[in-house]
Structure 1
Amino acid sequence: MEELPQSVNKLLESSHTETYVSEVPRLLREDDKNTPIIVGVDEAGRGPIFGSMVYCAAYIPVDFMDCLKSSGESNLKYGFDDSKKLTDVKRDELFGYIWNENAGVKVKSDVTEDAIKQLKHNTGYVLTGISARDISSGMMRFPPTEVYNLNQQAHDTTMDMIKRISEDLKLNIDHVFIDTVGPPESYQRKLEARFPKIKFTVSKKADSIYPIVSVASVIAKVTRDMHLKELSKESGGVGSGYPSDPNTVKFLKQNVSPVIGWKPEFTRFSWNTTNSYLSEENEKYGTVLIKWEEEYITTGKKRKQNEKITTLEPSQRRGLLTMDSFYDI
């Protein structure tokens, strides 16, 4: 897909977290907004060292639910599944059916023009890209008791998306299906307490069980990949952003700056992989060892020279940098 979706353009507007809300599907606009809908929530990009973590809450009318299934009388054979099980071409195809007004080209003979229109006219979504900069900022807060960990960020993002659908768009949510982050039981109780009038099912591998979660999974995955590709164009490409990707490893080694590391717009400095280049293995990679103020005013961390500094007086802190002042995060 050469043209960028509006959701990707929205994320490119800022190096901080952004949310895109699609138009309410035509059939929900034309019908009474009391029409019950189901919502599926999933994410892409939890583990990479580069790029945003993208969350999607996709929704359809309850009556359209059977059309997403892989079997049955109403089967339209779209092929939604856990996005990790699908090829890049198949994910792009499915996402194109939803967002692109010109996506009418049949890739498979059993996906008809009418089926594509039905999917487009019945599907809406809210998408949030939690930027690498904001992920790092949350996870590296000081003091440690104020750390905003990845699970908390994911939970808050999910609840915000549900709020946008139910309270801002004023759509009638009947049931929300969510691929869990953390223990499903406690997460479900948390959601039910926040939205007592909505039914929730929080499950492991929900994207393989509930087709509406598969829709959210595909939208999130394609959006994340396209966003990262655009962000890294000037840098020559960073691969998938996962530490196990040889292209990402190659980029890490060949593009590390002695002081900055890598671009804060798409780098998660809170990950051990990136942090090691700038701290424990700084001599190996030729980077500058920076003395962060936070490390010296906590418990007195031992340095390589076995020096131990407990608490520095304000007058002794000159020359020490803080993470906030350095990366502006």
Structure 2
Amino acid sequence: MKILGIDEAGRGCVIGPMVLAAVMVTQKSWDRLLKCGVKDSKKLSQKKREALVDEIRDIALGTEITVVPPSKIDEYCAKKRLNVLEAEVAVELIKKRQPDVVYIDAPGRGGHKFKEQLENLLDERQICIVAENHADDNYPVVAAASILAKVTRDNAIEDLRKKFGDFGSGYPSDAKTQHFIDRLCEEQQPLPDYIRHSWSTVKRKLTGEQDQLFMND
């Protein structure tokens, strides 16, 4: 039986891409993932995640990674369809690997609606889909995918930092990221393409500036 695990990294960031990764295993290699210490990437140090990448690839039947740029995220967020985007990318990964079973970390509350989205897009009823919140905690194959996605995303963020300066983690809750966004909104228009223009963090800043300009007029 071929088992595919899928997870994302960077969905909630205001800077940089979202990354989806897929890891294909058999039941035997599923057990090997457990033995090598695979777990949700958020519970591992950066050093441990990076050390596990090669081990995961050695154990897996195959892996796939898709990097979704901010422009594509903005396109879908404009229509409030971020979950649809994630489902479409996940289905592309599933079609590439043609597993018997898919375990995937579901966005939002519960996984039933997301599972239906995947099934409708896939139109392959013989593939069993298990979509759950916190699947990276419950299934090692999803945890393995979360590690690949996180390391890929971290590398992309590090490349951006080298080019544009230290903006922190890229998450809206990060004070350093907030300061970086504030400065960009004040100094650079239009905003660069590595920023997610549709995020409320950005919209509020731009709207606030526009309101202030209007008041000054």
Aligned-pair CA distance for 1:205: 0.6
Structure with larger RCO (C-alpha < 8 A, sep 6+): 2
Which of 118, 123, 126 is residue 197 of structure 1 equivalent to?
126
CA offset digits 1:166-216 (Å, max 9, x no partner): 2xxxxxx22110111234112223434522111111111100000000000
| Alpha-carbon contact 2:29-2:59 (below 8 Å) kept | no
| 2:8 alignment partner in structure 1 | 43
CA distance in 1, matches of 2:111, 2:38: 23
Which of 190, 196, 200 is residue 268 of structure 1 equivalent to?
196
Gaps of 5+ in 2: none
Which of 97, 119, 124 is residue 62 of structure 2 equivalent to?
124
Which of 153, 157, 165 is residue 89 of structure 2 equivalent to?
157
CA distance in 2, matches of 1:188, 1:41: 13
Bigger share in helix:
2
Distance 1:97 1:261, change over 3 A: farther
Distance 1:259 1:282, change over 3 A: farther
| 1:178 alignment partner in structure 2 | 104
| Structure 2 residue 119 is the aligned partner of structure 1 residue 187 | no
Aligned-pair CA distance for 1:123: 4.2
Partner letter of residue 271 of structure 1? W
| Alpha-carbon contact 1:40-1:176 (below 8 Å) kept | yes
Aligned-pair CA distance for 1:282: 4.3
**Normalised TM-score (structure 1):** 0.60
Distance 1:186 1:138, change over 3 A: closer
Partner letter of residue 3 of structure 2? I
Gaps of 5+ in 1: 1-35, 70-75, 99-118, 141-146, 167-172, 290-303, 306-329
CA RMSD of the aligned region, Å?
2.1
CA distance in 2, matches of 1:280, 1:158: 36
Identical counterparts, % of pairs:
33
**SS, match of residue 252 in structure 1:** helix
**SS, match of residue 201 in structure 2:** helix
CA distance in 1, matches of 2:44, 2:117: 32
What does 1:58-137 correspond to in 2, within 5 Å?
Answer: 58-69=23-34, 76=35, 78-98=36-56, 120-137=58-75
CA distance in 1, matches of 2:96, 2:76: 23
CA distance in 1, matches of 2:102, 2:186: 44
Partner letter of residue 177 of structure 1? Y
Aligned-pair CA distance for 1:82: 1.0
CA offset digits 1:147-171 (Å, max 9, x no partner): 26211101111111101112xxxxx
**Aligned pairs, how many?**
212
**Normalised TM-score (structure 2):** 0.88
